[in-house]
A and B are shown apart, each in its own frame.
Chain A
Amino acid sequence: MNYSTLIIAVFIALGAAYLLGRNRARALAGQGERMHSLPTHYGALTALWTTLPPLILIILWVMLEPRIIDALLTAQLPETIRNASEAEVRLALSKVHNIAQDAGMMSQNELGAAASHLIDLEQRAAILKGGVILSLILLGAGLTWRRIQPELRARGEVEKIVRVLLFSSSAIAVLTTLGILVSVLFEAMLFFQKVSPVEFLFGTSWSPQVALRADQSGSSGSFGAVPLFTGTLLISAIAMLIAVPVGLMAAIYLSEYASSRVRQIAKPALEVLAGIPTVVYGFFAALTVAPFIRGVGESVGLDVSSESALAAGLVMGIMIIPFVSSLSDDVINAVPQSLRDGSYGLGATRSETVRQVVIPAALPGIVGAVMLAVSRAIGETMIVAMAAGLAANLTANPLDSVTTVTVQIVTLLVGDQEFDSPKTLAAFALGLVLFIVTLALNFVALKIVQKYREQYD
């Protein structure tokens, strides 16, 4: 039985168990018994006990079955392979899986025996799985059905189970953070066993291509990430140079000057910019903006690389404008009207009020907004992957091609990779740096924004 049939079976059982429990409770009530809870509670209780254990078991099974089968298969492999390296065992296992897919290859291959063993194992596992899960369903339904008595406190029990379910849902968010941290940290540690952290953080040469043979030149690759950091900073700086003034001024104009009609149209229109997928911006940057900048540069005699930091930064800036403007809009609106009225009362013009009263009052919030925008610029991937190029140049010239942390993560991990080469692991080390930096920025920024909001509440 495959998983989809089993899951459908569990859902059918859910409905059936609910009706079963409810009807039994109704029947008991019809005999004149005084039930503790409503019939629906008895139904829900039966449904929960019938479906939760099988569902949990299915999840465990999905996780464990491939491992157990592979372990059993390894024991079946020819002696020569088993004694070879771990990588060979893995290779042989994946071959066995392929052979098992195609019956024609079975007889021709030395791994044929293992493959037929695999098919046999999988069939047995499927039967076992179906049997265990169906009996769990029946067991759950039967036991709960027998428990349905007038004195069974069904409502309390249902509510307790639901509460546990609600709690586990909110725990997933925390588990996600932990998962990111652990997975990135673990792989990064493996990387730092091969490359020293000092070289990684302060080295200035980045060429992660590891040669296939040990005697080729540059066989070790070099992992100095400074050019990536400077490239990221350069592009983010260009983006912020566009986004902060434009976003801030747009927010000021919309909240202090614009009529409500203009505001109603312009604000959502600007926010459309934030909803456009980044891959679309990347396409726009690579195929429209970059050639345009190159053309302009050539006409004034500048040598512009076809994948310039300027093009990527410019487009990223456009993408971040609505982010800065809507966050600043919130904080500017949070400044109490009394401060403005006081300023007008002293004879200040609107712009003077904005510059000397509103902005200083909103400054912490604006700083927070800008920090959030910076963290977004640093973590942005698609625009730079499509428009900024791969050359790890250590330069501050915006017309040159640079690369960023995110681009390198993508290039190092796309395609099939061995999971123990420093090249792949380097991506996780970069991911660790990225995660820590953005998390720190977000954390501080959110704290600032929160603290500021409380001030005027």
Chain B
Amino acid sequence: MTDSTMTTRQKVEASMRRRRAAETRFRLYGMASVLFGLLCLVVLFGDIFSKGTSAFSQTVLTTTIELNGDYLGIDKDSPRDEIMSANYDGLIKRHFAKEMKPSGRSEARKLFSLISSGAGWQLQSEVLADPSLIGQSITINLLVDDDVDQWFKHERGENIHASRLSEQQLEWIQSWVDSGALHTRFNTTFFVNGDSREPELAGIRGAMTGTLLTLLVTFLLSFPIGVSAAIYLEEFAPKNRLTEIVEININNLAAVPSITFGLLGLAIFINIFGVSRSTPLVGGLVLTLMTLPTIIISGRAAIKAVPPSIREAALGLGASKMQTVFHHVLPLAMPGMLTGTIIGMAQALGETAPLLMIGMIAFVVDVPGFVNDPSTVLPVQIFLWSDSPERAFTERTSGAIMVLLGFLILMNTAAVMLRRRLERRW
């Protein structure tokens, strides 16, 4: 059968089949795209969670150790600084040497490397809290080295040679496991410590405090400035060329790469104004400039949504322009402005690149106390840790990411709730 012999009806049916097939294909492409996006989301979250959940538990070794006052050279009436500077590391080494009986020095060194270098601090803080413990035996959960921690949490039962630990070390660890001395607990260290070179001692408290201080500075500056700018542009600015330029400028600024704000911070805040590097103050200043466009744009949209009849009513009753805006328009636009501000702050919370430029990448162990102390922030801490080769740091990086994502979800939910609850339709 050739084309010429086909009836019109047949031709139409044939083409309809083709067209329907094309329709189905097109629809499938669309569905596949949406599913691909969602799949990426699931894979990303799944990956982070599977790597990060173990960061919230920590292996400890329960042991009963005698606080030998003679060895430490102190008693319960010793002055505080003597108690502080006593040799607790030595005491721990002596204790384990007696208990595990390593043969020779190199073996002893291997044994001691199983215990965290922070174990001495643990003993010290116990004794400082209660000096009467000196001379007694106490049972304490000592932190173990990150290699032991990783082995206990992940590699137990796996091929023994895959571990970074030697066979002799594994034997010791196995004996602790058998006696039930080794167990995991919730990783409080992760939340109360600052950064450290030792994974088992590293925590996010310093970075969290830095983030909070930085966001505080950002909020205190960007909210009032952003709201005022939005009010001026929407209510007072004359409609002329200059206003138009300001408007275009703000829209463009919202799309400028964040790293250029870092360059600005470095060249102007640090080099010209002499603000000190690595502080939440300079970080907050840079993030303020970065979030301002977001806040101004959403603020203007919120003001625009207030119907003109409200303004006219206020003006008609004799209010001045300023009173109209501050007594009537602003309260009605506030929910929208707050939503925009929360979204802007969430952006600032996740921002990393500009903060690298202004020195917040420094290795800071201490928890910052105020906005002019050197500090780092959570995203930068994640960046720093992700560079470390130790497996334990990978785990902690994922853990820190989970905390960061938790805060972001919290903020965005707050923004959505606020919008839902306070949204008004005129």
Contact = CB atoms under 8 A, between A and B. Distances in A.
B292 A176 contact: yes
B100 to A, nearest CB: 36
A344 interface: no
A379 B259 contact: yes
Contacts of A380: 257
Contacts of A282: 383, 386
Interface string A405-428: 010011001110001000000011
Interface stretch (A48-56, A104-112, A264-272): A264-272
Given A275-B408, A409-B259, A354 B228 contact: no
A62 B38 CA distance: 50
Given A276-B44, A351-B23, A173 B293 contact: yes
B257 A378 contact: yes
Interface in B270-298: 271, 273-274, 289, 292-293, 296
B216 to A, nearest CB: 13
A446 B257 contact: no
Interface residues of A, number: 94
A272 B353 contact: no
A276 B27 contact: no
A63 B274 contact: yes
Instruction: Name which of B48, B264, B350, B361 has the most chain A CB atoms within 10 A of its CB.
Output: B264
A152 interface: no
A275 B228 CA distance: 26
Given A66-B274, A351-B27, A378-B257, A284 B292 contact: no
A252 interface: yes
B19 A349 contact: yes
A438 B253 contact: no
A226 B77 CA distance: 71
A441 to B, nearest CB: 8
Given A173-B229, A179-B264, A276 B255 contact: no
A355 B30 CA distance: 13
Nearest to A255: B30
B41 A279 contact: no
A62 B273 contact: yes
B246 A431 contact: no
Contact of B33 (A180, A246, A355, A415): A246
Contacts of B394: 287
Contacts of A322: 37
Nearest to A164: B232
A442 B40 contact: no
A427 B267 CA distance: 11
Contacts of B262: 413
A382 B255 contact: no
B26 A409 contact: no
Contacts of A279: 350, 352, 379-380, 382-383, 386
A249 B266 contact: no
A379 B382 contact: no
A319 B218 CA distance: 25
Instruction: Name which of A63, A179, A283, A439 has the most chain B CB atoms within 10 A of its CB.
Output: A283
Given A287-B394, A414-B361, A438-B255, A428 B48 contact: no
A6 interface: no
Interface string B232-264: 110011000000011011111101111111111
Interface string A215-240: 00000000000000000000000000
Contacts of B250: 173
B351 interface: yes
Contact of A276 (B260, B273, B350): B350
A420 to B, nearest CB: 11
B257 A434 contact: yes
Interface string B374-409: 000001101100100000001001100100110010
B236 A275 contact: no
B205 to A, nearest CB: 19
Given A163-B322, A434-B257, A438-B257, A169 B228 contact: yes
Interface in A163-182: 163, 165-167, 169-174, 176-177, 179-180
A37 to B, nearest CB: 10
A249 B23 CA distance: 13
B258 to A, nearest CB: 7
Contacts of A410: 259, 353, 356-357
B408 to A, nearest CB: 6
A289 to B, nearest CB: 9
Nearest to B40: A318
A419 B408 CA distance: 36
B346 interface: yes
A249 B29 CA distance: 7
B40 A159 contact: no
Contacts of B322: 158-159, 162-163
B1 interface: no
B359 to A, nearest CB: 8
A90 B236 CA distance: 48
B268 interface: yes
19 contacts: A63-B273, A174-B246, A179-B268, A258-B34, A275-B408, A277-B404, A278-B350, A280-B404, A283-B386, A287-B386, A354-B26, A379-B256, A379-B259, A409-B357, A410-B259, A413-B357, A428-B263, A434-B259, A446-B252
Given A184-B264, A246-B37, A379-B256, 5 more contacts: A170-B228, A270-B41, A318-B40, A355-B26, A442-B255
Interface of A: 4, 62-63, 66-67, 155, 158-159, 162-163, 165-167, 169-174, 176-177, 179-180, 183-184, 186-187, 245-250, 252-254, 256-258, 266, 269-270, 272-273, 275-284, 286-288, 318, 321-322, 325, 349-352, 354-355, 372, 375-376, 378-382, 385-386, 406, 409-410, 413-415, 419, 427-428, 431, 434-435, 438-439, 442-443, 446
Interface of B: 19-20, 22-23, 25-27, 29-34, 36-38, 40-41, 44, 47-48, 51, 224-226, 228-229, 231-233, 236-237, 245-246, 248-253, 255-264, 266-268, 271, 273-274, 289, 292-293, 296, 320-322, 346, 349-353, 356-357, 361, 370, 379-380, 382-383, 386, 394, 397-398, 401, 404-405, 408, 412
